[in-house]
Amino acid sequence: MKWTATFVCLLTLLAQGQEFSQRGFVELNGNFYPQTFPIDSTRAIGGILAQYEPKWQPTPWFTLNASLDVRMDSHQQVARNLRFDWQDRSLQRTPFSIRELAAVFRKNNFTITLGKQFIRWGEADFLNPTDRFAPTDLLNLVDQELLPVTAARVTYDRGNDTFNLVWQPEFTPSRVPLINQRWTFLPPAYYSFDAQDQGSIFPGRSSFGVRWNHSSARYEYSLSYYDGFNYFPAFNIQVDGPAARLTYSRMYPALRLYGGDLTVPSSLFTFKSEAAYYTSSTKNQDEYVLYLLELERQIHEVHIIFGYAGEVVTAHGNALQYLGERGFARGLISHVLYTLDANRSVTLDAFVRQDGASSLVSPAFSQSLREHWRATVGFAWLRGEANDFLGQYHRNSFARAELRYSF
């Protein structure tokens, strides 16, 4: 808390007389679940999120980017303490968090970014197999948020080629659903068990990645390499059946990725593909290929994406792994955005598992009101079978509403 206040004051002082810009928003949001879940009877969750993004550029070659979140909610997805978590390793979201605090140095064709930042790799939509510096917050599986990483990134731009080197000294895990809430990671068979969390074992070494991107008129492609850790945990679970008790701990297996993406625009549609082969030196981690093939097309004000996300497991690990993004593989995906006018838009996202074991349909309507306000309403309709990653949450269909004031 003190640290955050000091940081904001410092930025304000530094900003005087310098090139300074800021933006942000305050958002009220609510999710309404028509059905209860076996371990969670809450039907309505309300929350408030304030985000402030100052940017200070004292010289053309140096920029300081920052972003601060303040939030709370009614369902304890946000911790009710004032603990500050720079590493983003807490199970719950924290009331105060630094989304970004990065120094950016630019010299000729080089850009060096140091600090907490967002790093996005890959060109596909919906699912990015090569995006390994982008852990996610999955406390609501359907409404995911991106988490930042603390890293050093060097980018070199030369004509049509861009080289990216990333070193992440400190591991940031994805935030998986809470065990006692409706998006729980526990398999249904253990809902009635007394679960004891033994904590997490975080990797001790750094992660590293390199990406080369080439773009031209007829195609664009990238090659990626990553050596680090899976940001989704594998669980070490011990079950005491007669006592209906289980203990579990989280670990994050080593992971190595060889990947690439390809975009080919044509006069009819844009073809995008992205694939990655994951290997691991540990036995508790699957080895697999994750890929995505998609077609993108703009027809007047309608933007359509349709694709297939696939997975081939080449070696099975021996631990219970949280699937995360892999849970959305082996299925058809689509995204439709219809821009009604300058202020209104409608979106429709859909996912259907290839064997029909689960499906998700999520339409939303968004309207801006004057220059500062935007209201969004929508719902997510989930169907499926209990043994499917997504289908197990078939009681979690929900309606949502957001009202955002931007400044």
Partner 1 sequence: MNKTWFFRTVAMLALIPGFAPAQDARQIMIEVENRTRSRTEYYEGSLEVINSSQEITRKRWQYDRLGAYGNSRSALRFVAPPEVKGVALLVINHPDRASDQWMWIPAQERDRRIALQDRSTRFFGTDFSFEDLEERDVDQYDYKLSGDDTVEDAPCWKIESHPRDGKTSQYTSSILWVRKDRYFLVRTDNFNRDRLIRQITYRDVESIDGIWTARTVAVLDKTRNSQTLLTLDNVKYNLPMRDAEFTRENLSK
Q: Which residues of this protein are in contact with partner 1, per CB under 8 A? A: 23, 25, 57, 63, 104, 106, 108-109, 111, 118, 120, 123, 146, 155, 157, 162, 215, 217, 220, 263, 265-270, 296-298, 300-301, 303, 339, 341-343, 368, 371-372, 374, 404, 406-407
Nearer to partner 1, 53 or 287 (CB): 53
CA dist., res. 169 & res. 167, Å (int): 6
Structure token pair of residue 134: 């982008």
**For partner 1, the closer CB: 135 or 384:** 135
Q: Measuring CA to CA, which residue among 124, 144, 121 is closest to residue 134?
A: 121
List Cβ neighbours of 281 (8 Å cut-off, separation of 6 or more): 254, 256
**What is the Cα–Cα distance from 129 to 223, expressed in whole angstroms?**
12
Closest distance of CB 362 from partner 1, Å: 17
Q: How far is the CB of 24 from partner 1 (least distance, A)?
A: 8
Instruction: Give 67 or 181: the residue with its C-beta nearer to partner 1.
Output: 67
Beta strands 161-168 and 207-215, pairing class: antiparallel
How far is Cα 280 from Cα 283, in angstroms, rounded to an integer? Answer: 8
Q: How far is the CB of 284 from partner 1 (least distance, A)?
A: 31
Cα(403)–Cα(407) distance, rounded to whole angstroms?
A: 13
Residue 5 CB partners (closer than 8 Å, separation 6+): none
- Identify which of residues 73 and 123 has a Cβ nearer to partner 1 in the complex: 123
Strand partners of residue 195: 246
**Toward partner 1, which CB reaches closer, 13 or 217?**
217
Q: From the CB of 198, what's the least distance to partner 1, in Å?
A: 34
Closest contact distance (angstroms) between CB of 266 and partner 1 is 8
Q: Widest CA span of the chain, in angstroms?
A: 69
The DSSP letter of residue 351 is E
Element (H, E) at 190: none
- Residue 89 vs 120, nearer CB to partner 1: 120
Whole-number Å distance between alpha carbons of 348 and 363: 4
Least spacing, CB of residue 143 vs partner 1, in Å = 13
User: Cα–Cα–Cα angle for 334, 338, 343, nearest 5°?
Assistant: 140
| Calpha distance 54→23 (Å, rounded) | 6
Q: Identify which of residues 263 and 362 has a Cβ nearer to partner 1 in the complex.
A: 263
Query: In the complex, what is the shortest distance from the CB of residue 403 to partner 1, in angstroms, rounded to a whole number?
Result: 12
The smaller minimum CB distance to partner 1, of residues 297 and 316, is found at 297
- Rounded to a whole number of angstroms, the minimum distance from the CB of residue 268 to partner 1 is 7
Q: Which is nearer to partner 1, 251 or 276 (CB)?
A: 276
End-to-end CA distance of the chain: 23
342: Cβ contacts below 8 Å, ≥ 6 apart: none
Residues whose CB falls within 8 Å of the CB of residue 77, separated by 6 or more in sequence, listed in order? 45, 47, 92, 93, 139, 140, 178, 181
Least separation in angstroms between CB 89 and partner 1: 21
d(CA 266, CA 251): 44
Is the Cβ of residue 320 or residue 337 nearer to partner 1 in the bound state? 337
- The least CB distance from residue 2 to partner 1, in Å, is 29
Q: 398 with 381: CB under 8 angstroms? A: no
